[in-house]
Amino acid sequence: MKKQPTPLSFATLFIASTLSLHVSATEKKLTQTEANKFLTQTAIELEKLGYESSRAEWIYANFITEDTASLAADIGQKYTDAIVRMATEAAKYDSVKLDEVTRRKLDMLKLKLVMPAPQNAKKSAQLAKVSADLSSLYGKGKYCPDDKTCYSLRDMEQIMATKRDYDTLLDVWKGWRQVSVPMRPLFEEQTQLVNEGSKELGYADTGEMWRSKYDMPANEFAKELDRLWGQVKPLYNSLHCHVRAKLGEKYGTDKVPQDKPIPAHLLGNMWAQSWGNIYDLAAPENADPGYDVTNLLEKHQYDHTKMVKGAEKFFTSLSFEPLPKTFWTRSLFLKPKDREVQCHASAWNIDSKDDLRIKMCIQRTGEEFSVIHHELGHNFYQRAYNQQPVYFQESANDGFHEAIGDTIALSVTPGYLKEIGLLDKVPDESKDIGLLMQQAMEKIAFVPFGLLVDQWRWKVYSGEIKPKEYNKAWWELRKNYQGVMPPVARDENQFDPGAKYHVPGGVPYTRYFLAHILQFQFHRELCKIAGNQDPIHRCSIYNSKKAGKVLKEMLEMGSSRPWQEALEKVTGSKEMDATAIMDYFAPLKSYLDKQNKGRSCGW
Confidence grade of residue 349 (pLDDT, cut at 50, 70, 90): very high
Q: Bigger pLDDT: 376 or 212?
A: 376
Task: Write the pLDDT tens digit of every residue in 217-240.
Answer: 988 999 999 999 999 999 999 999
CA pair distance 15, 119, nearest whole angstrom: 14
Q: Is 506 left (phi over 0), alpha (psi -120 to 50) or beta?
A: left
Quick one: how far is CA 158 from the chain centroid?
21
CA pair distance 532, 416, nearest whole angstrom: 13
Q: Is 484 left (phi over 0), alpha (psi -120 to 50) or beta?
A: beta
Mean pLDDT across 63-92:
83
Answer for the pair 508, 456: CB distance below 8 angstroms, yes or no. Answer: no
pLDDT value at residue 1: 42
Task: Write the pLDDT tens digit of every residue in 294-311.
Answer: 999 999 999 999 999 999
Q: In the predicted model, is pLDDT for residue 20 greater than 80?
A: no
pLDDT value at residue 15: 44
- ∠ CA 4-10-15, nearest 5°, is 155
DSSP code at position 481: I
Residue % of the chain over a pLDDT of 90: 73
Burial (CB < 10 A; 0-12, 13-18, 19+), residue 220, is exposed
H or E element, residue 150: strand 149-152
Q: Which of 425, 345, 395, 427 is nearest to 560 (CA)?
A: 395
Q: In the predicted model, is pLDDT for residue 22 greater than 80?
A: no
Maximum mean pLDDT: which of 145-154, 341-350, 365-374, 462-471:
462-471
Would you tell me how many other CB atoms lie within 10 Å of the CB of residue 531? 10
pLDDT value at residue 590: 97
Mean pLDDT across 538-567:
97
Instruction: Count how many Cα atoms sit within 13 Å of the Cα of residue 100 in the half-sphere of its side chain.
Output: 3
Collapsing DSSP to helix, strand or coil, 14 comes out as: helix
Q: Which of 93-102, 115-124, 201-210 has the lowest mean pLDDT?
A: 115-124
pLDDT value at residue 69: 81
Q: Which amino acid is at 363?
A: Q
Task: Write the pLDDT tens digit of every residue in 496-548.
Answer: 999 999 999 898 999 999 999 999 999 999 999 999 999 999 999 999 999 99
Confidence grade of residue 201 (pLDDT, cut at 50, 70, 90): confident
Q: Mean pLDDT of all residues in the chain?
A: 91
pLDDT value at residue 28: 63
pLDDT value at residue 118: 82
Mean pLDDT across 387-409:
93
Mean pLDDT across 44-72:
90
pTM of the model: 0.90
Answer for the pair 318, 551: CB distance below 8 angstroms, yes or no. Answer: yes
Q: Report the sign of the C-alpha dihedral through residues 92, 94, 95, 101, in that order.
A: positive
- What is the tally of helices (H) and strands (E) in the chain? 26, 6
Collapsing DSSP to helix, strand or coil, 596 comes out as: coil
**CB burial readout 34-47, b (16+ within 10 A) else e:** ebeebbeebeeebb
Q: Report the sign of the C-alpha dihedral through residues 505, 507, 513, 519, in that order.
A: negative
Burial (CB < 10 A; 0-12, 13-18, 19+), residue 185, is exposed
Q: Is 491 left (phi over 0), alpha (psi -120 to 50) or beta?
A: beta
Give Cα separations from 379 to 82, 273, 317, 388, 555 (angstroms): 26, 27, 16, 15, 11
Q: Bigger pLDDT: 53 or 28?
A: 53
Burial (CB < 10 A; 0-12, 13-18, 19+), residue 33, is exposed
H or E element, residue 146: strand 142-146
pLDDT value at residue 8: 43
Burial (CB < 10 A; 0-12, 13-18, 19+), residue 489, is exposed
Q: In the predicted model, is pLDDT for residue 19 greater than 90?
A: no
Answer for the pair 567, 573: CB distance below 8 angstroms, yes or no. Answer: yes
CA pair distance 568, 217, nearest whole angstrom: 19
Q: Which of 54-68, 159-173, 525-539 has the lowest mean pLDDT?
A: 54-68
Mean pLDDT across 425-453:
94
Strand partners, 99: none
Collapsing DSSP to helix, strand or coil, 468 comes out as: helix
Quick one: how far is CA 86 from the chain centroid?
27
Residue 466 CB partners (closer than 8 Å, separation 6+): none
Q: In the predicted model, is pLDDT for residue 119 greater than 80?
A: no
Mean pLDDT across 330-335:
94
Task: Write the pLDDT tens digit of every residue in 469-490.
Answer: 999 999 999 999 999 999 999 9
Q: Which of 452, 434, 471 is nearest to 233 (CA)?
A: 452
Residue % of the chain over a pLDDT of 70: 95
Answer for the pair 248, 258: CB distance below 8 angstroms, yes or no. Answer: yes
> Rounded to the nearest 5°, which phi and psi values hold at 559?
-110, 25
- Radius of gyration of the chain from Cα atoms? 24
Beta-sheet pairing, 262-263 with 346-349: unpaired
Widest Cα–Cα separation across the chain: 74
Q: Which of 267, 38, 279, 54 is nearest to 166 (CA)?
A: 267
CA pair distance 313, 420, nearest whole angstrom: 9
CA pair distance 442, 275, nearest whole angstrom: 6
Instruction: Count how many Cα atoms sit within 13 Å of the Cα of residue 332 in the half-sphere of its side chain.
Output: 22
Q: In the predicted model, is pLDDT for residue 21 greater than 50?
A: no
DSSP string of 314-381, one letter each residue: HHHTTTPPPPPHHHHHHSB-S--SSS----S-EEEETTSSS-EEEE----SSHHHHHHHHHHHHHHHH
